[in-house]
Amino acid sequence: MIPTPPITAFHGPHAFLSNFAASPVLLDGQTYPTVEHAFQAAKTFDPEQRRLIQDANTPATAKRLGRGVTLRADWEQVKFDIMRGLLQQKFAQADLRQALLETGEAELIEGNTWNDRAWGRVLVKGQWIGKNWLGELLMEVRREAKDEG
């Protein structure tokens, strides 16, 4: 049996895996255009900062704005659960759920060139280096979807 090659880029045919992909999600009763927007807004409890992030024209702008918010005190304790919940919402949508399931057993690696070794991995001398938290959470959501049938 030939092992399934990993998916190491969340663009092109796998752009739907990216947190930048258009996919409305809810955070505290408010709709955000992407997981990235909602995740960045979740970093703060300040309603004005959240609104600015929610209204950002692009996920990249939302990410930039998220770097400057008044960080909630419990962020390090809650960020994984928040990301998991946002991904579960995103992939509850039938078309995205099906696309995620169609990745089969492939390892999902948020490969990047911006040196994010926490949420993704960086290719260094032929080896993927990093924690890949986003990829791990995506594979967890995929397992849940598969288990639910």
Residue 9 exposed, middle or buried by CB count within 10 Å (0-12, 13-18, 19+): middle
- Whether 57 maps to a domain, the answer reads yes
Tens digit of each residue's pLDDT (9 = 90 or more) over 105-149: 999 999 998 999 999 999 999 999 999 999 999 999 999 999 997
- Whether 1 maps to a domain, the answer reads no
- For position 35, what pLDDT does the model report? 98
Domain encompassing residue 84:
19-148
Residue 56 has pLDDT above 90, yes or no: yes
Tens digit of each residue's pLDDT (9 = 90 or more) over 16-33: 999 999 999 999 999 999
Number of domains in the chain: 1
- For position 4, what pLDDT does the model report? 87
- For position 147, what pLDDT does the model report? 94
Cα three-residue angle 100-21-30, rounded to 5 degrees? 105
Helices (H) and strands (E) in the chain, counts: 6, 4
CATH number at residue 76: 1.10.357.40
Write the CA distances from 133 to 2, 52, 57, 84, integer angstroms: 26, 26, 26, 10
In angstroms, rounded to a whole number, what is the distance separating the alpha carbons of residues 132 and 109? Answer: 6
- Whether 30 maps to a domain, the answer reads yes
- Whether 44 maps to a domain, the answer reads yes
In angstroms, rounded to a whole number, what is the distance separating the alpha carbons of residues 134 and 83? Answer: 8
Tens digit of each residue's pLDDT (9 = 90 or more) over 60-79: 999 999 999 999 999 999 99
- Whether 123 maps to a domain, the answer reads yes
Q: Are 23 and 94 in contact (CB under 8 A)?
A: no
- Whether 14 maps to a domain, the answer reads no
Residue 1 has pLDDT above 90, yes or no: no
- For position 3, what pLDDT does the model report? 77
pTM of the model: 0.95
Nearest to 34 by CA among 8, 65, 60, 14: 60
- For position 126, what pLDDT does the model report? 92
Q: Are 69 and 30 in contact (CB under 8 A)?
A: no
Residue 2 has pLDDT above 90, yes or no: no
What is the mean predicted confidence (pLDDT) over 98-110?
97
What values do phi and psi take at 60, rounded to 5? Answer: -65, -40
